[in-house]
Amino acid sequence: MITETLSPREAVSHITPVIWARVNRLHLCKVISEFAHENIIIPEKQYENEGWGHYVLHAFSFNVQYRFRAKIGSLNHWYIDRDSLEKYTEGKPDRLDSLRFVVEFREAMGIDEQSLPVYMEEVSSTLCGSAYMHMQSTVRSGDLIHAGYQEIERAMTGHPRFIANNGRIGFDTADYRDYAPEAASAFSLIWVAGHRERTVFTSIEPLTYQQLLLQELGEELLGLFRGLLTKKGLDPDEYIFIQVHPWQWYNKLAIVFASDIAAGRLVYLGPGKDEYLPQQSIRTFFNVSNPDKFYVKTALSILNMGYVRGLSPGFMQTNPPVSKWVEELVEGDSYLRETGFCVLREIAGAGYTNMNCERSTRENSPYKKMLSCLWRESPLPKMKKGQRLMTMAALLHTDTEGAAFLPELIRASGLDTDPWIRQYLHCYMSPLLHCFYRYDLVFMPHGENLILVMEDHVPVRAIMKDLGEEVSVMNKGAGLPEEIRRIAVEVSDGERVRPIFTQLFDSIFRFIAAILHEHAGYPEERFWELIAECIHNYGLAHPQLEEKIRKYDLFVPEISPDALNRLQLRNNRQLRNRATPFNVKYIENVANPVARFEK
């Protein structure tokens, strides 16, 4: 349901002095933690007391000091006591302000003058979203134990590493309440018709275009839409139907594609009957009217966390074949089946090419990615009775009162922490190790891309999604089918293990270790010992891969994960180039927390 007209006063009702002060304090703790983690800033240790280091951070040009106490864990993870953070300007207490911090440390951040205001807008938008959640949210971590898939999804607060993780530049305040996953009510997507001269459609057999339309629209609405084209003197069989985000229609397509609309190459059909809720990725939608129907992923030309979130029409031709290839590989592997690992196929895709945009530049412009959509399998048919779904991002979640979800989940399971973690790693890490060592295959397995299937609050399998754009085979000579050869990348031997160190160790496990230690008193070293145990057990189960496991060693003394915030500061519109996804900035070497457990 789209929000009625929002008054100017209502648009800022969540921005109150008390809430703004709270979210800035929390955000600044994250800024200092992650910037220190990436060595963008280097806090100075003053002394240590009762296990806490007391630190000062200077912005000399502004005569500013930040003082706080913190513990530093594995992988240079900074856990800051949020109540200890204080700011002094010219020796006098000052209020905490994330935007001021960005200005004060802009030189250390290395951001250019042209990009700085846009980055600050992304930070401000992130703070506004946090303020809205603090005003609205009454869901505590304990409440999420029995919550449904979508309830958990909308309680999440964004990527754990990125400072500007909810920018959504392009949305106004009303759009935020209509379309942001933490705020939105269910809404309908728009259907348009693109002429076959400009539109591609690809699907995985045996699904046909007509079957997809009948499933997603039903006979009545499909007949109505075909009739609309006929009344305009157009042949419905010459068009491909595409689902579109309402924001994209009003803000981009109705303007940028106006000449195509005038020529009848692109035709507005109307909203569908089904309603959807946006997922954390903001451009992917779960059908809440008919949950067994497909997910839908649409182009959405807003700037969010390092990219303008378009979809390439070219990728719409190759994403379904990529999904089919990955799914056949996974389903055909007995070890992956034993772990329960599976994927959600991108079952079909449609994309429209605006020739004016296409001819305007040779560059990989967001203007070329404004009108495409993907249809992805629903995870519900993969569940058994008594099972429930949960985004893996929830394992890193803390609520607005600072209570962590993961310890609550483990307590509810009735298991001790060791067996719970072992089972989680069996579902999550073991299959990813196998894909890497057996097939040179890596995913982007961060929290939002993984769905955990839970039984009695314990993970029993992991479901990987978002395959077409984020899967890579690190072997140009892998002999892939022609239509999916784009996913093969050449990577040096020294770089091959970096996806595991970045995506698993630094982006997931670092946070889990800290949460369990700080919120449940679970020894951090014990957590990393269980990671090492999982790696050793995988090697023992696959002696035929011994040489490769030794060559791509996960027990090296030091590792250097990707520096994600540095990437965003360098280019906030494209973190990575698909052709060279591993040519990125890195964190300086840090001790590998599993190295001590090498056998």
Q: pLDDT by residue for the chain (599 residues), tens digit each?
A: 455 678 889 989 999 999 999 999 999 999 999 999 999 999 999 999 999 999 999 999 999 999 999 999 999 999 999 999 999 999 999 999 999 999 999 999 999 999 999 999 999 999 999 999 999 877 899 999 999 999 999 999 889 999 999 989 999 999 999 999 998 789 999 999 999 999 999 999 999 999 999 999 999 999 999 999 999 999 999 999 999 999 999 999 999 999 999 999 999 999 999 999 999 989 999 999 999 999 999 999 999 888 889 999 999 999 999 999 999 999 999 999 999 999 999 999 999 999 888 888 777 889 999 999 999 999 999 899 999 999 999 999 999 889 999 999 999 999 999 999 999 999 999 999 999 999 999 999 999 999 999 999 999 999 999 998 889 999 888 889 999 999 999 889 888 999 999 999 999 999 999 999 999 999 999 999 999 999 999 999 999 999 999 999 999 999 999 999 999 998 877 776 655 666 667 888 999 999 999 98
- State the pTM of this model: 0.95
Residues 6+ apart with CB under 8 A from 120: 99, 102, 103
**Residue 299, phi-psi category: left (phi > 0), alpha (psi -120 to 50), beta (remainder):** beta
Coil, helix or strand at residue 306: coil
Assigned token pair, 88: 């002094």
pLDDT given for residue 581 in this prediction: 61
- Quick one: CA dihedral 383, 387, 391, 393, positive or negative? negative
Q: Where are the beta strands (DSSP E) in 168-273?
A: 190-195, 199-203, 239-244, 266-271
Half-sphere exposure of 303 (CA within 13 A, CB side): 21
Distance separating alpha carbons of residues 505 and 66, to the nearest angstrom: 29
Is 320 in contact with 349 (CB distance < 8 Å)?
yes
Contacts 24+ apart (CB under 8 A), 216-223: 216/243, 216/272, 216/274, 216/293, 216/294, 216/375, 217/191, 217/241, 217/272, 217/273, 218/273, 221/272, 221/273
Assigned token pair, 365: 């412009």
Assigned token pair, 257: 């594609």
Q: Which residue has the tokens 């772990």?
A: 339
Q: What separation in angstroms does the CA of 500 have from each of 58, 236, 269, 509?
A: 34, 48, 45, 11
Distance separating alpha carbons of residues 581 and 496, to the nearest angstrom: 11
For residue 264, count CB atoms less than 10 angstroms from its CB and return exposed for 0-12, middle for 13-18, buried for 19 or more: middle
Distance separating alpha carbons of residues 269 and 188, to the nearest angstrom: 13
What angle separates helix 524-541 from helix 417-439, to the nearest 10 degrees? 40
Assigned token pair, 51: 């296990």
Is 338 in contact with 395 (CB distance < 8 Å)?
no
Is 78 in contact with 41 (CB distance < 8 Å)?
no
Is 487 in contact with 140 (CB distance < 8 Å)?
no
Coil, helix or strand at residue 45: strand
pLDDT given for residue 580 in this prediction: 61
In residues, how long is the chain? 599
Residues 6+ apart with CB under 8 A from 215: 293, 294
For residue 442, count CB atoms less than 10 angstroms from its CB and return exposed for 0-12, middle for 13-18, buried for 19 or more: buried
Assigned token pair, 286: 């779960």
Distance separating alpha carbons of residues 460 and 427, to the nearest angstrom: 6
pLDDT given for residue 1 in this prediction: 47
Assigned token pair, 392: 């893996």
